[in-house]
Amino acid sequence: MSLYSAEALVLRARPLGEADVVVTLLTREEGKVEAVARGARRGRSRLLAATQPFTESRVMIWRGRNMDSLSQAEVVHSFRGLQQELTRLACASYTAELLDHFLGEREPHPALYELWRETLHYLSRAEGRTPLLKGVHVFELRLMRILGYEPEISRCAACGGELGATLRFSLGLGGALCPQCFSRDPGASPVSAGTLALLQRLADTAWDRLHVVELGPWAPEVQRLLWAFIAFRREGTLKTREFMELVCGAPEEGVNNK
């Protein structure tokens, strides 16, 4: 057995036995790691606060034969803002499940760690459903980018040529199609140029500049397209999405999406 230290964000925590917790951590150094936090449900445990979902901690972990175990943890950032608003909590849970869904164990992705940390920072301060939704979409797009699934939205995904005024989006070919390539995927669905432009802006805008991006009338289509894209890349249902829709409400059409 060996001991290693890591910077970690808690993806999820589930109870084990009487007083233990199994935490799924996203560590900067080792990627996704499962570890047992012994006694972490007892009121006075030092591990209690550090094993709450979304908490960022500096941790010491024993590498075990079957499962690692959390030896020490010091909270770096608790993202308390998330627990003050149900909508924030719902969006953060969705990002956690998405990460858990896409990541295999022990595949280090320092960029993903950074992305989720920034996302949690943003979500823990965002006010109102539209800024939250923007944060969620930025996370989705950048997650896809880091994992190599980024949708092609600036040129034709099939021929690489310029995109015309009439557009379709192909899940199978991974992006927008120009009219000449529509036949390459008969299942491709029509998409508006505004939606593609918005996706591009969301993907490229820095977190602290996100307030200048307006979702406008394209919000519902952006959401549908991203969710279809994610579902196409990785099968399985995301339980948190339903809850996020329940507490944040269905996407609004029209003008109130500033």
Partner 1 sequence: MLYAEPIARLIGEFSRLPGIGPKTAQRLALHVVRMPREQAQSLAEALVAVKDRIIHCSICGNITENDPCRICTDPGRDPAILCVVEEPKDLVAMEKTREFRGHYHVLGGAISPMEGIGPDDLRLKELLPRLASGEVKEVVLATGPDVEGEATALYAARLIKPLGIRVTRIAHGLPVGGDLDYVDEVTLARALEGRREI
- Contact set with partner 1 (CB under 8 A): 12, 14, 17-18, 43-44, 46, 48-50, 52-55, 75, 78, 80, 83, 85-86, 89-90, 93-94, 96-97, 239-240, 242-244, 246-247
Query: Which residue's CB is nearer to partner 1, number 53 or number 131?
Result: 53
Query: Which residue's CB is nearer to partner 1, number 42 or number 106?
Result: 42
Query: Which residue's CB is nearer to partner 1, number 44 or number 65?
Result: 44
Strands 189-190, 168-170: pairing kind: antiparallel
Write down how long the chain is: 258
Query: Which residue's CB is nearer to partner 1, number 31 or number 81?
Result: 81
Query: Which residue's CB is nearer to partner 1, number 2 or number 66?
Result: 66
User: Distance between CA 111 and CA 230 in Å, rounded?
Assistant: 19
At its nearest, how many Å lie between partner 1 and the CB of residue 163? 37
Query: Which residue's CB is nearer to partner 1, number 18 or number 208?
Result: 18
At its nearest, how many Å lie between partner 1 and the CB of residue 255? 25
At its nearest, how many Å lie between partner 1 and the CB of residue 136? 13
User: Distance between CA 147 and CA 111 in Å, rounded?
Assistant: 10
Say if residues 51 and 76 touch (Cβ distance below 8 Å): no
Q: Running DSSP on this structure, what letter comes out for residue 250?
A: S
At its nearest, how many Å lie between partner 1 and the CB of residue 18? 5
**Neighbour-count burial of 146, counting CB atoms closer than 10 A to its CB (0-12 exposed, 13-18 middle, 19+ buried):** middle
At its nearest, how many Å lie between partner 1 and the CB of residue 2? 26
**Neighbour-count burial of 227, counting CB atoms closer than 10 A to its CB (0-12 exposed, 13-18 middle, 19+ buried):** middle
Strands 189-190, 175-177: pairing kind: unpaired
Query: Which residue's CB is nearer to partner 1, number 55 or number 119?
Result: 55
User: Distance between CA 52 and CA 40 in Å, rounded?
Assistant: 10
At its nearest, how many Å lie between partner 1 and the CB of residue 130? 19
Q: How is residue 234 written in tokens?
A: 């990785």
Q: What share of the chain is helix, strand, coil (3-state, %, to 5)?
A: 45, 20, 35
At its nearest, how many Å lie between partner 1 and the CB of residue 140? 17
